[in-house]
Chain A
Amino acid sequence: MHGFRTLFFKEVLRFWKVSFQTVLAPLVSTLLYLLVFAQVMADHAEIYPGVSYAAFLIPGLVMMSMLQNAFANSSSSLVQSKVTGNIVFVLLAPLSPGEFYGAYVLASMVRGVLVGLVVFLAAWAFVEIPVREPLWAVVFGLLATVLSGTLGVLAGIWAEKFDQMAVWQNFVILPLTFLSGAFYTLHSLPSFWAGLSRFNPFFYAIDGFRYGFLGSGDVSPWQSLSIVGGTCFALSWTTLALLRKGWRLRT
């Protein structure tokens, strides 16, 4: 158990030592999104009665930054360790696959939640945001970071070079987060794109998270919970099975 705690602590310390890049940079980029989109869309009709576009946008932006940073934490740590070779220090240790998985995902959750919290507090200073169902916001915040942190572990153990990781970043994570309803509701999309979004688990994570603030969403929070929770379970099970086999880690 102490080995697990040490790996978790090491992963948190790793991102904290470069917090300018891992916490402050996402805050600045997310606030720029808010500034631009909220200004451009300010005069458009309210999406939900009594809710400004900025108040609608903020939960989506917070969740988007949580998803991207939770993924970045585990994936970048693993791929850097593999490329530089220092992954051997973890592989030589008496850590079980479950401890390995748990430590990387938990550290990803810490970074994802920390970035989300900082973005939310900064946005709150400028825009009034209702918090109607806080428990749902917490549940989806935590589940989404598990989902994204697990995807990061999968990508990290698969990738052997930085350009392979860029494939994940640019062709998986970026489309999933941008086509997830962070900036719009499902009803505002053409039917094809709306239908496609229903296959995106990040859409349900954002919709459920937003429900926690606004008390309204495109789908029921229970449906979102079952899809996000089911995806987390399937991805975690797959990742653990691959770790037990030593896939791409223990040759």
Chain B
Amino acid sequence: MVPAIEIRGADKHYGSLHALKAVDLTVDSGDFFALLGPNGAGKTTLINLLSGLSRPDGGILKVMGHDVVRDYRQARRSLGVVPQELVFDPFFTVRETLEIQSGYFGLRKNDEWIDDLLHNLQLSDKAEANMRALSGGMKRRVLIAQALVHRPPVIVLDEPTAGVDVALRQSLWKFIQRLNREGHTILLTTHYLEEAETLCRRVAILRQGQIVADDTTENLLQSSTSGKLEDVFVALMQDEGELAEP
């Protein structure tokens, strides 16, 4: 089976900063995968390379077998990204935002799925509201709906629960778990390690642009005496004397 995400030797510099150092990573189709690391480790850079927001200096990155540079159209159709920043277009309503995003991906009649997304993300009563009128949590949910609007097989969530209250976070994870059960591959970055521990079958940890751990959650937990992912994470960071900031 084609891996959902395949990364070989991904390299990226920003000026003198070597942000990613020949990263290799494979995410199997249907997996629920956590990509962890302290601030500045390279998680968002890796996601930007996968989604085409940045260009790699070296290496090959594929989404569902499609090269993100040479076959960018298919690669982008296969990927839904929830960006870390709370961004929105103030000119449009929630429904218009989702219809426009659908259209970018070539979908004309997508109302049923848009209604389903609005319902599952508890946004149905805000469908005709302007994006400016929404709270931060609601904007975050619209971002998630935008990433899912073209039903991508691979979904990347870059810290999706930052600033989201507990009740909403729980309903959000239920929805994401449902998508995963339906066959979507999930790649998650988060600073809430208990979320990764509970939800993800596999975990990779980035430190200073390099993968320092890549294993099943179970194996990583077994490697720690406390059986907590947080301790595994802290130990890996302290190995190199780096100040851990989960």
Query: Which residues of A approach B to under 8 Å, CB–CB?
Result: 1-3, 5-7, 9-10, 13-14, 17-18, 81, 84-86, 88-96, 246, 250-251
CB contacts (< 8 Å) of A91 on chain B: these are: 52-53
B184 adjacent to chain A (CB < 8 Å): no
Do the beta carbons of A88 and B53 come within 8 Å of each other?
yes
- A6 adjacent to B55 (CB under 8 Å): no
| Residue B87 lies at the interface, judged by CB distance under 8 Å to chain A | yes
Structural contact, A92 and B81, CB atoms closer than 8 A: yes
CA distance A95 to B100 in the complex (A): 13
Task: List B83-123 residues whose CB lies under 8 Å from chain A.
Answer: 83, 85, 87-92, 96, 100-108
Tell whether A92 pairs with B103 under 8 Å between CB atoms, given A84-B90, A85-B85.
Answer: no
Determine which of B79, B89, B101 lies in contact with A81 in the assembled complex, contact meaning CB atoms within 8 Å. B89
**Which residue of A9, A81, A86, A250 has the most chain B CB atoms within 10 A of its CB atom?**
A86
* Chain B residues, Cβ within 8 Å of A18: 91
Minimal beta-carbon separation of A81 from chain B (angstroms): 7
Smallest Cβ-Cβ distance to A14: which chain B residue: B91
User: Which of these binds chain A: B34-42, B69-77, B191-199?
Assistant: B69-77
Question: In the assembled complex, how far is the CB of residue B134 from the closest CB belonging to chain A, in whole angstroms?
Answer: 14
**Chain A residues near B170 (CB-CB < 8 A):** none
Given the known interface contacts A3-B106, A6-B100, A250-B55, the answer about A93 and B76 at a Cβ–Cβ threshold of 8 Å is yes
- The answer, among A1, A10, A96, for a CB contact under 8 Å with B100, is A10
Cβ of A89 and Cβ of B55 under 8 Å apart? no
On whether the beta carbons of A93 and B105 are closer than 8 Å, the reply is yes
Of all chain A residues, the one with the shortest Cβ separation from B83 is A88
A86 & B52 in contact (Cβ 8 Å cutoff): no
Taking a contact as CB atoms closer than 8 A, the residue among A9, A84, A96 that contacts B103 in the complex is A9
- In the complex, what distance in Å separates the CA atom of A85 from the CA atom of B101? 15
Say if the beta carbon of B54 comes within 8 Å of chain A.
yes
Pairs of residues from A and B, 8 with the lowest C-beta to C-beta distance, nearest first = A6-B103, A93-B104, A85-B87, A94-B73, A94-B76, A2-B106, A86-B89, A86-B87
Given contacts A17-B91, A86-B88, A94-B72, contact A251 B105 (CB under 8 A): no
Q: How far apart are the CA atoms of A17 and B72 in the complex, in Å? A: 32
Determine if B108 and A2 form an interchain contact, defined as CB atoms under 8 angstroms apart: yes
CB of B123 to closest CB in A, whole Å = 17
Which of A3, A14, A18, A90: most chain B Cβ within 10 A?
Answer: A3
B91 CB to closest chain A CB (Å) equals 5
In the complex, which residue of chain A has the Cβ closest to the Cβ of B86? Answer: A85
In the complex, what distance in Å separates the CA atom of A163 from the CA atom of B52? Answer: 28
Q: Are B91 and A3 in contact (CB under 8 A)?
A: no
Q: Residue of A at shortest CB range from B78? A: A94
Residues of B within 8 A of A250 (CB): 52-55
* Complex: chain A residue closest to B74, CB-CB: A94
Could you pull out 25 A-B pairs where Cβ atoms are within 8 angstroms?
A2-B106, A2-B108, A3-B103, A3-B105, A5-B103, A7-B103, A9-B100, A14-B91, A84-B88, A85-B83, A86-B89, A88-B81, A88-B83, A88-B87, A89-B87, A89-B89, A89-B104, A89-B146, A92-B81, A94-B72, A94-B77, A94-B104, A94-B106, A250-B53, A251-B48
B51 at the interface (CB under 8 A from A): yes
Complex alpha-carbon distance, A6 and B104, angstroms:
6
CA distance A89 to B88 in the complex (A): 9
The smallest beta-carbon distance between A3 and chain B, in angstroms, is: 5
Chain A residues positioned under 8 Å from B88 (CB to CB): 84, 86
**A1 CB to nearest chain B CB (Å):** 8
Q: How far is it, in angstroms, between the C-alpha of A84 and the C-alpha of B74 when the chains are bound?
A: 27
Known: A85-B85, A92-B81. 20 other contacts (CB 8 A): A6-B104, A7-B104, A10-B103, A84-B90, A86-B88, A88-B53, A88-B87, A89-B87, A89-B101, A91-B53, A92-B79, A93-B101, A93-B105, A94-B72, A94-B77, A94-B105, A251-B14, A251-B48, A251-B54, A251-B55
Given contacts A89-B89, A250-B52, A251-B53, contact A2 B83 (CB under 8 A): no
- Nearest-Cβ distance from residue A150 to partner chain B, whole angstroms: 22
Q: Which of A1, A7, A90, A93 has the most CB atoms of chain B within a 10 A radius of its CB?
A: A93
